[in-house]
Amino acid sequence: MSLPVDCDSPAPATVRLAGVVRTYREGPRRREVLRGVDLQIASGERLALLGRSGSGKSTLLNLLGAIDRPDAGSILIGGRELSKAAERERTLFRRRHIGFVYQFFNLIPTLCAGDNLGLPLELNGVTEAEIRRRVAESLEAVGLADRRDSFPDRLSGGEQQRLAVARALIHRPLLILADEPTGTLDAESGARVLELLTRLSREQGSTLILVTHSLAVAGTADRCLALDEGRIRPVADGIAW
């Protein structure tokens, strides 16, 4: 079963970055992490982003996720300019239009599976009846229909990540940001999670950015790029992941 699709939701995201710069202060010096990043991602595209540790991947995801703002440049997601948006505006945009899948699941340990799924909908003002319906459909879609009342520590790693995928998609986001979503899983569980993530995001029409160190995982995407020395580059053998 597929996750429910909202016919009234906005069109899928097209991501456009132009001249994006982000620097951080390290003692008396400033370190330029992103150096004029230009990037366009087509609506509904699945993009894999490779890069070694310290290449700026996390910084870029924070900008794309409306968690942070660049020092210079423009970030448009679904036509919305986020680079100069105030914190509250970015928070509301993030809640409504962006889904996150993390390497270490980031589920709330004191909430059962169903309540972990329902929380993003509750924050967006969805009615209780609609929350119950979407939670039930989403749990079934990821093969966890019988685990609604289970807490995260009672789920296997693969089950937790499938729940995290369902949580990322339950509010029908424009953009999904997946940061090493199979990094802590065994090969079989990782393959199942990746298949779910790519299939369900495609069925919803969401744009997917997949950060990974794995060339095998990157090979499932529509396009693969590398972040190296603060700039987006074509994938090359000379870049170490």
**Of all helices (H) and strands (E), which one includes residue 33?**
strand 29-41
Strands across the sheet with 46-50, in order? 98-101, 175-179, 207-211, 46-50, 223-228, 231-234
**Of all helices (H) and strands (E), which one includes residue 129?**
helix 128-141
pLDDT for 2 equals 44
CA dihedral 159, 163, 164, 165 (to 10 degrees): 100
| Cα-based distances in Å from 154 to 52, 149, 151, 225 | 33, 10, 6, 37
Structure tokens at 138: 């989403």
**Of all helices (H) and strands (E), which one includes residue 200?**
helix 187-204
In this structure, the number of other CB atoms found within 10 A of the CB of residue 145 comes to 14
Residue 37 is classified by DSSP as: E
pLDDT for 236 equals 65
pLDDT < 50 positions in the chain: 1-12, 238-241
Q: Are residues 114 and 49 in contact, defined by beta-carbon separation less than 8 angstroms?
A: no
pLDDT for 12 equals 45
Domain 44-64+88-234, architecture per CATH: 3-Layer(aba) Sandwich (3.40)
In this structure, the number of other CB atoms found within 10 A of the CB of residue 136 comes to 14
For the stretch 47-67, pLDDT in tens is 999 988 778 888 999 999 999
For the stretch 221-239, pLDDT in tens is 999 999 988 899 888 654 4
pLDDT for 18 equals 94
pLDDT for 229 equals 85
Residue 48 half-sphere exposure toward CB, CA atoms < 13 A: 22
Residue with tokens 């580059």: 233
